Amino acid sequence: MPNSKHNDLEKIIIAAVAKNGVIGAKGKLPWKSSEEMEFFKNTTTGFPVIMGRKTFQSLSKPLENRTNIVISKSLKTSNINGALVFGSLNSALSYCEKKRFPKVFIIGGEQIFAEAMEIADKMLISEMKGEFEGDTFFPPVDKNKWVKKFIRGYSDFDLYEYIPTED
Ligand SMILES: NC(=O)c1ccc[n+]([C@@H]2O[C@H](COP(=O)([O-])OP(=O)(O)OC[C@H]3O[C@@H](n4cnc5c(N)ncnc54)[C@H](OP(=O)(O)O)[C@@H]3O)[C@@H](O)[C@H]2O)c1
């Protein structure tokens, strides 16, 4: 199992990924899919969401009905525009555990996904049906560490769940 810390907190990566691995373009999502946005909203509502500073800045406002947590080294504040700020992923996870949240969603972008993949308990990946131009990518998934399972198909994407292999 990749995860050994924060055992009382389920840590879930949630991402939408194009067929060519792209997740972002010029600070935004490369596609418009209300269906995928609705899936994301329904899945994450009520739980904390952890994101990188650039992803937070790409939102017009904090995500509603979720504790918004931003990871940043440059922001020298503990609050920004309705979000909590932490200096590391680890300190953000410790906060969620202290608050006794049962689970937390790690929502990107590329830099945060890469770090979180080492400690996540699960990944929910929407595989968008198409290739897109972009500048940020989902990190490579080590097939020796993760088992991929099809969950269901939507019009714009197929939903997969990844669970760590037992080792
Ligand atoms: N398709 C999807 O599912 C999805 C999801 C989310 C985002 N996106 C897209 O991804 C793009 C943004 O991703 P990105 O990789 O460029 O940026 P990001 O991961 O959102 O943010 C990067 C910033 O987070 C902070 N950070 C990263 N690692 C850190 C660490 N270990 N400790 C402390 N702070 C850390 C740093 O902030 P400071 O510079 O302030 O120190 C860093 O500059 C956008 O295009 C967005 O739309 C796509």
DSSP 30-51: SS--HHHHHHHHHHHTTS-EEE
- What is the tens place of the pLDDT at every residue in 41-98? 999 999 999 999 999 999 989 999 999 999 999 998 899 999 999 999 999 999 999 9
Model confidence pLDDT, tens digit, residues 17-45: 999 999 999 999 999 999 999 999 999 99
Distance between Cα 34 and ligand 1 center (Å): 22
CATH 3.20.20.70 for domain 10-142, yes or no, is no
Could you tell me the pTM of the whole model?
0.96
56 Cα nearest atom in ligand 1? 20
Give me the sign of the Cα torsion angle 141, 144, 146, 149: positive
Closest-lying ligand 1 atom to the alpha carbon of residue 87:
33
Residue nearest to atom 24 of ligand 1 (CA): 52
Cα separation, 27 vs 59, in Å, equals 10
Contact (Cβ atoms closer than 8 angstroms) between residue 46 and residue 75:
no
Kindly give the number of the ligand 1 atom that is closest to the alpha carbon of 26: 45
The tens digit of pLDDT for each residue in 124-167 reads 999 999 999 999 999 999 999 999 999 999 999 999 999 999 75
At 85, list the tokens. Answer: 């700020």
Pocket around ligand 1: residues whose beta carbon is below 6 Å from it? 15-16, 23-24, 27-29, 51-55, 58, 71-75, 87-89, 107-112, 115, 136
